[in-house]
Structures are given as structure tokens and as C-alpha cells.
Amino acid sequence: MPEVLSALFAMNPMKISQNIAISENGFLFNPATGDSFSTNACGKEIIRLLQEGQSQAQILEALQREFEVDQASLEKDLADFLYMLGNYRLLDANAQ
Amino acid sequence: MSSGRTPCTVAVSGLNNIDSPGPGMPVIRALRESSNLEVRIVGLSYDSLEPGLYMHDLVDKSYQIPLPSAGTEALLERLKYIQSIEQIDVLIPNFDAELHNFIRIAPLLRDSLRIKTFLPDLADFDARHKAVLFEYGQQHGVLVPKSHTVFTLMEFHRALEANTYPVVVKGKYYDAQIAYSADEAVSAFYKISAKWGLPVLLQEHVRGTEVNVTVLGDGTGSCIGAVPMRKLYITDKGKAWAGVSIEDEALMQLSRTLIESARWKGPCELEFMRSEEGEYYLMEMNPRFPAWVYLACGCGQNHPEALVQMAMGYHPEPMTRYRVGHMFIRYSQDLIVPMEEFEKISTLGEL
């Protein structure tokens, strides 16, 4: 695993910001900023796992079980997605 | 059969429901939805093409009133005439430029014409003016970007030297432009002073996200209602075309503290910038309902209704809850108006 990804997955579990609402269709609304986003089924699943308090490594395992994808691509895509969540201020800053 | 609601006649200005809308029509819609008041609406207009004049389902009767530049005497005379026909209980002025006149004649309206208002006094009105907002913020514990009020180009150049770019050039009532160089700033100075007159304000630029709060104060230190909104779509005139109610306790606390500390009386719109560091800077305090005030009503806080109740001597309970994640989206629609109606308001001054 590349060094950056290793560091990411060794971090404390990331937490999704409080009060973030996500619908069945994968529509996210951040009530603190008024921003809204759409995500696909895979993104919705990652957010659900984050809301359950799962660590990055646990999420990786869960996704590997669910999707047929090689580990390197999955790690990279998950890292990108988590980075994007942070960038859009959807992660709890205190838990990062 | 009685509806159980208190009947009252409310005069409302700001019927210009255009792309840079006045707050009159949203105020009227909120009053029409009141569960406590049964309102008759008297519209006050400055121009025969204000769309609200022709919205007869919302406005019962309309009268032209003299432009603010005509002064208080002309305004008072016109209102005397209107009141000889109507029985206006409460008057809600909604234009920045007319507020000064209405505040000055408010005691006369109350004593001579039995028309109630719910406005700040002149000292409070002037204290939150753009030109002195920095000092106002210091007085009430709110951050405000530093600004210079300038009356001449020479003063403007001196103020520019004391700032780093970008800077914001603002008109005394409306308009603001961000300038990234001295050339851009000077060009903005000419443009804004030509349109809105002098002085012009030169303000420190704060990078961040704009968030606005519509607030109602009772004048004795209580905040009767407050709803925050983030703009989602802005027109080329900088006006919100869509927005959403948000949840931000720090912003709400700051807004309540300001209204309580200033003992603000009446409606106001607080325009904040949430900086990238998470600090809130008060950019403007508009002493009237914003044009998006109907969103507050849609979120469960009917501010125009509460204002009328307070003007009539009632004490509505402070509204502390509101629905988060409710949006407003404006739309435009063509009204079909017979020429007779336009003729009537243009020639007789009433419709």
C-alpha cells in the first residue's frame, strides 16, 4: 500500500459531520452550510459506514466484500472519496 | 361567521416585485397567511409599474405616495388623504430610502392619524449605518470589516493606500464591487458614486461564505424571531434568486446577542460573511425585512405577523424554532393588466 494511503487508513476513524442528512437516493444535505450533494450507491454505503463509526480499514474490507474490484483501485478510490468529503466539509473536523 | 382572527388594515410599501425585489409582496403574503390576523392590505407605491399594484388577490387597494426626496410634509399630506378613506392600523415601510422619512413622522402618524408603526428611532437607525458599522460592531461585540467613508477621489486614493487588495467599494445604500487593483477600485468609485451619490465606502475584503439572517427585535432587548439563510443562486444584480434555511447555532447566538444588546426595534436583515477561519463578520445591517422574509414564514416563523401584533400592542412569544433545509426559489410571471388599471393608478394615484 502506498505510504500516503497507509497513513490515511491508519488514522482515527473519520466521522461524518453531525446532522448530515442522506436520503435513500444518495442525496446529501449539510444543514450547517446549506450545501447539497448527490452520490451513487457506493458513496452512500461509505457514508453509512462512516455514520456507524467504522474505521477506514473496516470500510475498505466491507467494500471489498461487496464489490468486485482490485484492492489498489479500491484503496485509491476510497482515499479520493474521503478527501472529497473533507474538502466539502462533510467530515467532523474534530475527528479528523 | 367570525374567523376568530383580529381584523386589521395594514399599509405596505415595496410592491416592486421585480428582479431586484422589494420586500412588500413577501411581507403581504406572510400577513395573508397569519393565523391571528385577518388583514386588509393597502399598498403604497412610487411607480405605476410596480407589479404588486396589479396583484389584486394580495393587495386590496393601492395608493401612490410621493418619492422620499419630496420630504416628510408631502408624505404626511398624502397619508392624511389616504387615511381619510382607509382605516390603516399599521404601516410597514420596506424601502431603505423611505425609512428615514417614516421614522421622522412616526409620532405624528400615531398621534394624528392613529397609524401605528414599529420602527427603530433615528439614533438607532443611524447607528448601524454602513459608514459607522465598524464602531457599531465594536459597541455590540460583533466583528465588522474595517472601512473608510470617502467623499472625494483624493480621500479615496488615501484610503486605498491604507488597504491591501482586494478591497470592496460600496455605495451608500446599494451596490458593492470587489476591486483587485487601484485601477479597478477607482473605476468602481466613479461608477458607484455616479449611481448612488457620495459618500462611497472602501471596505476591507473578507473571504468566505455569505450567510444572512432575518431578525425581528421588540425594542426592549428581546429577539422575537430569527431565521438564517444561505443564498443558493444569485442574480447578476447580486440578489438571491434561491436560498435555503440553515442550522448554525453560533450564527444564531451572535444575531440574538446583537439584537438584544442594541435593543433593536423592528425587522432587520443581518448580512454576515463566515470567514474561512469560521469567524463571522457583519457586513451590513439592513433596517427592514429582507425580500426573502417569506422563507421565514415558510420555516414556521411569521415575522410580519409578529411585527403587526407588536405594533398593535400585543406581546408575541419569541419564536426560537424553525425548519432547517427549506428553500425559496423565486419565479417571474407575466401579469396581464387592462390599460384602464394602469391609467387609473397613473392619473388618479390610486387603484
Q: Tell me which chain B residues have a C-beta less than 8 angstroms from the C-beta of A32.
A: 246-248
Whether residue A32 and residue B232 make contact (CB cut-off 8 A), yes or no, is: no
* Beta-sheet strand order (sheet of B90-92): B61-64, B37-45, B6-13, B90-92
pLDDT for the residue numbered B196: 87
Q: Do B194 and B278 sit in the same domain of this protein?
A: no
Whichever domain contains B190, its CATH number is: 3.30.1490.20
Find the mean pLDDT for residues B307-328.
Answer: 96
Q: Do B14 and B93 sit in the same domain of this protein?
A: yes
Q: Do B321 and B268 sit in the same domain of this protein?
A: yes
Tell me the pLDDT tens digit for each residue of B20-32: 899 999 999 999 9
Tell me the pLDDT tens digit for each residue of A29-49: 999 999 999 999 899 999 999
Q: Do B79 and B55 sit in the same domain of this protein?
A: yes
pLDDT at A96 over 50: no
Q: Do B283 and B343 sit in the same domain of this protein?
A: no
CA distance B116 to chain A (A): 37
Q: Which domain holds residue B80?
A: 6-119+334-348
The one-letter amino acid at B22: G
Tell me the pLDDT tens digit for each residue of A50-79: 988 888 889 999 998 888 888 899 999 999
Quick check: is A83 in a domain?
Answer: yes
The one-letter amino acid at B180: Y
Q: Which of B176, B204, B232 is the last residue of a domain?
A: B204
* Residue A49 φ then ψ, to 5°: -65, -35
Q: Do B111 and B57 sit in the same domain of this protein?
A: yes
Query: For residue B7, what pLDDT band results from cuts at 50, 70 and 90?
Result: very high
Q: Which of B230, B232, B247 faces A19 most closely, judged by CB atoms?
A: B247
Tell me how many residue pairs between chain A and chain B have CB atoms under 8 A apart: 20
**Domain total of chain B:** 3
Whether residue A31 and residue B243 make contact (CB cut-off 8 A), yes or no, is: no
pLDDT at B89 over 80: yes
CA distance B326 to chain A (A): 10
pLDDT for the residue numbered B214: 98
pLDDT for the residue numbered A19: 83
The one-letter amino acid at B316: P
d(CA B168, CA B192): 12
For B295, the enclosing helix (H) or strand (E) is helix B293-298
Quick check: is B27 in a domain?
Answer: yes
Assess contact for B251 and B152: CB atoms under 8 A.
Answer: no
Q: Do B71 and B157 sit in the same domain of this protein?
A: no
pLDDT at B15 over 60: yes
Q: Tell me which chain A residues have a C-beta less than 8 angstroms from the C-beta of B229.
A: 34
Whether residue B247 and residue A21 make contact (CB cut-off 8 A), yes or no, is: no
Q: How many residues does chain B have?
A: 351
Quick check: is B163 in a domain?
Answer: yes
Query: E-assigned strands of A1-96?
Result: 21-22, 27-30, 35-38
Instruction: Give the ipTM of the model, two decimals please.
Output: 0.77
Quick check: is A27 in a domain?
Answer: yes
Quick check: is B1 in a domain?
Answer: no
Find the mean pLDDT for residues A16-31.
Answer: 88
pLDDT for the residue numbered A9: 61
The one-letter amino acid at B289: F
Q: Which of B229, B232, B247 faces A31 most closely, judged by CB atoms?
A: B247
Quick check: is B138 in a domain?
Answer: no
pLDDT at A4 over 60: no
Q: Which domain holds residue A60?
A: 3-89
Q: What is the dihedral of CA A69, A75, A79, A82, to 10 degrees?
A: 60
Q: Do B339 and B230 sit in the same domain of this protein?
A: no
Quick check: is B137 in a domain?
Answer: no
Tell me the pLDDT tens digit for each residue of B288-315: 999 999 999 999 999 999 999 999 999 9
Q: Which of B186, B204, B222 is the last residue of a domain?
A: B204
Quick check: is B134 in a domain?
Answer: no
Quick check: is A31 in a domain?
Answer: yes
**Domain total of chain A:** 1
pLDDT for the residue numbered B337: 96
Whichever domain contains B311, its CATH number is: 3.30.470.20
Whichever domain contains A72, its CATH number is: 1.10.10
d(CA B93, CA B96): 9
Q: Which of B171, B186, B204 is the last residue of a domain?
A: B204
d(CA B71, CA B166): 38
Q: What is the mean pLDDT of chain B?
A: 94
Query: For residue B173, what pLDDT band results from cuts at 50, 70 and 90?
Result: confident
